[in-house]
Amino acid sequence: MPAPPAPLLVAQGIEKTFDQTRALAGASVEVSAGEVHGLLGANGAGKSTLSRVISGHVRRDRGTLAWRGAALDPRSPRDALSAGIAMVMQETTLAPDLSVLENIFLPELAQPGRLRPALQRQRARDILESLGQHAALPLGSEVRRLSAAQRQLVEIAKALAVDATLIIFDEPTASLSPGEVERLFDVMTRLRAAGRALVFVSHRLEEVFAVTDRVTVMREGRTVGGSLPTASLSQSDIVRLMVGQDLGRIYAERPAVHAAGEPVLEVRHLCAPPRVRDVSFTLHRGEILGLGGLVGAGRSETLEALFGLRPHSGGEIRLHGKAFSPRRPADAIRAGIGFVPEDRRLQSIVPDFSVRENLLLGHLSAYRGFGLGYATRDARVAELLRLLGLPNERLLDANMLNFSGGMQQKIIIARWLLLDPRVLLLDEPTKGVDIVTRSSIYAMLQEVADRGAAVLVVSSDFEELLRLCSRIAVVSDGATIAEMESAVLDEAKLTLFAAPRSSMAANARLLADLSEETGGAAFWALRDGGRLFCLNRVGGTGVSDPGFVAGATPRFEETRIPAALRSAPGTFVAEPDGQRSTLMAQVHSHRGHDLGWIGLTVPGVTTPDAATIVRRVQDAITSNI
């Protein structure tokens, strides 16, 4: 779609710093009427902050905003709303006890004059009609009773009630089912056709391809790709922009892969609703294992389940080979597990306690006596202080909150080191930590592992995971989809693996069917630069084994089907040794965007009809999604 000449909104050189964290460092975006504009970036790239600056929720420190050619300076969401800019938030901002109708017209409460419910009712009906959703929302119902998708619809209607010209959707699909996502996309398409401008903030690449016209890509608070037509890009292009070209420096400090010790913590098919569906991995003595994935993939919840803070409903946890099922954190601590949660202020720090008592909090819970037993730890406390560059003894009585985030984090980690844990779980250990302290935390964790503990780290910062961890398990939408050496990975591949795919479940069913009918191996993969990224594989033993498993990233020649991978798709290609034949079929969603490849490897050279299978695969994909 050709971009109209005059952009509706131009944001340029936006900068914003929260406390010490630089959220935006020169971000720009241009949005025109009648387009859906994707705003992309990895976790923490600044997408949400930029959206909130535009919608008046956050004030920028520097930079310019132009709205219809005139300068705009929204001091509050109300300013932005009256200009015609509305935001549909990730966590909706509705009043749960008011009715749908009252919520839609909530901004009118800020206007003088009498409310006119009859007129409002009619306008609400018109708005829903224009979205093709007149049946989806009971206007009189309390918002509390609505589903996530319905609430979102209320938010959209609310934006239209003030006749917003620009609507920003911040991660709108995060809590929706695939069917609801489709409905949302229909609504967005109608809004675009009505000449409104939409900004779609997401890190789900499939959806970006499905619904956007142009995209702006952000990285580390900057715009690295502005207003690129979606049609001109591939998934790999976008990933490369999101991650950056300078992959070289990562490898320099890659941790040595040392011989793994015996398994310490084995997790199989762990299920802890609602976020954790099927998580499996093995953590060895002396290693640092990373749990990679996007925010909301269920990584934190996995750690909480392992530490007994969250009940798990299924799966098996084995600790030192014995079944382990913690019901309370005390169980986990007794078994030698320590846990550093994600939110220091909320989950770790006791603000009214001194540094000393915060440091000794884990000891307090492990201590069996009636008193405090602080003196029994004096020697170890002094040793830790020396080793970790923690404040000297005089400062032990100071308040925790006077220290930098990095120092606080070290104290919290030391809280567990004091107990000599055999397993240490850390959730985003360097969140809000300055760059200098980061490397000392890395060194600290490496030393903990070298001394024989097993360390499990959750991080959204893929660069950090690759630097710190010898192996990485990737979690996507509550399930581990790969567990591999970090040596074979880079940020781009990790991003590809971690991207949540709403099509995952449907595709898995299709693969199972194909494998069962042909007695071969069915797999789903992406191809990039002579490598295969296997996302899922079902079946295939003996000769029909294609030579890789789900989560593997082999070069073509490292597989058992190199000839097929190098040939043109659409037909069965036999390998030179005649042992197996493979069909590769590229699949697209019904909106025409790339979903990767479905492969089918069967034994021998006599094969089923390729065209039938290709058609069938494409039909299944289209109808499933």
Partner 1 sequence: MPEALAPTSRSHLVHRLAGRLEVRMLGLALVVFAGLSLASPYFLRSNNLLNLLDQSVVTGITSVGMTFVILTGGIDLSVGSVLGLTSVLMGLAFGKLGIAGGIAVALLSGGAIGLFSGMLVAYFGLASFVVTLGVMAIGRSLAYICSGATSISNIPPAINDLVYTPILGVPSNVATLLVIYVLAGLYLSFTKGGRTIYAIGSNQEAARAAGLSVLFYSVLPYVVSGALAAAAGVLLSAQVMSIDPLAGTALELDAIAAVVIGGASLYGGRGSILGTLIGVLIMVMIRNGLNLLGVNPFWQGSAIGGIIIAAVLVERLVSTRVRG
Interface contacts to partner 1, rule CB under 8 A: 307, 309, 328-330, 332-333, 339, 341, 346-353, 357, 361-362, 364-367, 369-373, 389, 391, 395, 397-399, 401-404, 406-407, 415, 434, 436-437
Please tell me the distance from the alpha carbon of residue 130 to that of residue 555, in angstroms, as a whole number. 51
Q: Output the smallest distance, CB 346 to partner 1, in A.
A: 6
DSSP 258-286: PPP-SEEEEEEEEEETTTEEEEEEEEETT
Q: Which is nearer to partner 1, 403 or 497 (CB)?
A: 403
Nearest to 419 by CA among 359, 362, 344, 372: 362
Q: Output the smallest distance, CB 550 to partner 1, in A.
A: 34
Strand partners, 461: none
Tell how strand 454-459 and strand 423-427 pair up: parallel
Q: Which is nearer to partner 1, 114 or 394 (CB)?
A: 394
Q: Output the smallest distance, CB 99 to partner 1, in A.
A: 27
Please tell me the distance from the alpha carbon of residue 326 to that of residue 321, in angstroms, as a whole number. 15
Give the CA-trace dihedral at 37, 21, 86, 297, to 10 degrees.
70
For 372, 467, 540, 568, the CA distances from 514, given in Å and listed in that order, are 63, 39, 11, 21
Q: Which is nearer to partner 1, 427 or 490 (CB)?
A: 427
Tell how strand 580-588 and strand 572-574 pair up: antiparallel
Q: Output the smallest distance, CB 347 to partner 1, in A.
A: 5
Q: Output the smallest distance, CB 343 to partner 1, in A.
A: 8
SS3 content of the chain, % helix, strand, coil (to 5): 40, 25, 35
Q: Output the smallest distance, CB 175 to partner 1, in A.
A: 23
Q: Output the smallest distance, CB 353 to partner 1, in A.
A: 7
Q: Output the smallest distance, CB 331 to partner 1, in A.
A: 9
Q: Which is nearer to partner 1, 124 or 337 (CB)?
A: 337
Please tell me the distance from the alpha carbon of residue 149 to that of residue 146, in angstroms, as a whole number. 8
For 279, 360, 415, the CA distances from 384, given in Å and listed in that order, are 34, 12, 10
Q: Which is nearer to partner 1, 358 or 582 (CB)?
A: 358
Q: How is residue 29 written in tokens?
A: 């975006």
Q: Output the smallest distance, CB 332 to partner 1, in A.
A: 7
DSSP 578-601: SSEEEEEEEEE-TT--EEEEEEEE
Q: Which is nearer to partner 1, 76 or 399 (CB)?
A: 399
State the maximum Cα–Cα separation within the chain, in Å, rounded to a whole number: 83
Q: Which is nearer to partner 1, 107 or 391 (CB)?
A: 391
Q: Output the smallest distance, CB 8 to partner 1, in A.
A: 40
Q: How is residue 512 written in tokens?
A: 């199972």
Helix axes 148-161, 178-193, angle to 10 degrees: 10
Give the CA-trace dihedral at 226, 231, 236, 240, to 10 degrees.
-10
Q: Which is nearer to partner 1, 136 or 395 (CB)?
A: 395
Strand partners, 524: 536, 598
Instruction: Give the single-character DSSP code of 348.
Output: I
Q: Where are the alpha helices (DSSP H) in 285-341?
A: 299-306, 329-334
Cis peptide before 273 (omega within 30 of 0): no
Q: Output the smallest distance, CB 340 to partner 1, in A.
A: 9
Q: Output the smallest distance, CB 191 to partner 1, in A.
A: 40
Q: Where are the alpha helices (DSSP H) in 389-490?
A: 405-417, 435-450, 462-468
Q: Which is nearer to partner 1, 391 or 608 (CB)?
A: 391
Q: Output the smallest distance, CB 48 to partner 1, in A.
A: 24
Q: Which is nearer to partner 1, 165 or 300 (CB)?
A: 300
Instruction: Specify the 3-state DSSP secondary structure of 73.
Output: coil
Q: Which is nearer to partner 1, 419 or 469 (CB)?
A: 419
Q: Which is nearer to partner 1, 125 or 310 (CB)?
A: 310
Q: Output the smallest distance, CB 440 to partner 1, in A.
A: 9
Hey, how many other C-beta atoms are within 10 angstroms of the C-beta on 272?
21
Instruction: Specify the 3-state DSSP secondary structure of 343.
Output: coil
Q: Which is nearer to partner 1, 143 or 425 (CB)?
A: 425
Please tell me the distance from the alpha carbon of residue 540 to that of residue 534, in angstroms, as a whole number. 14
Please tell me the distance from the alpha carbon of residue 22 to that of residue 220, in angstroms, as a whole number. 9
Q: Output the smallest distance, CB 325 to partner 1, in A.
A: 16
DSSP 195-247: T-EEEEEES-HHHHHHH-SEEEEEETTEEEEEEEEGGG--HHHHHHHHH-S--
Q: Which is nearer to partner 1, 67 or 416 (CB)?
A: 416
- Read off the amino acid at residue 136: A
Please tell me the distance from the alpha carbon of residue 55 to that of residue 315, in angstroms, as a whole number. 44
Q: Are 521 and 534 in contact (CB under 8 A)?
A: no
Please tell me the distance from the alpha carbon of residue 123 to that of residue 181, in angstroms, as a whole number. 25
Q: Which is nearer to partner 1, 290 or 341 (CB)?
A: 341
Please tell me the distance from the alpha carbon of residue 451 to that of residue 56, in angstroms, as a whole number. 50
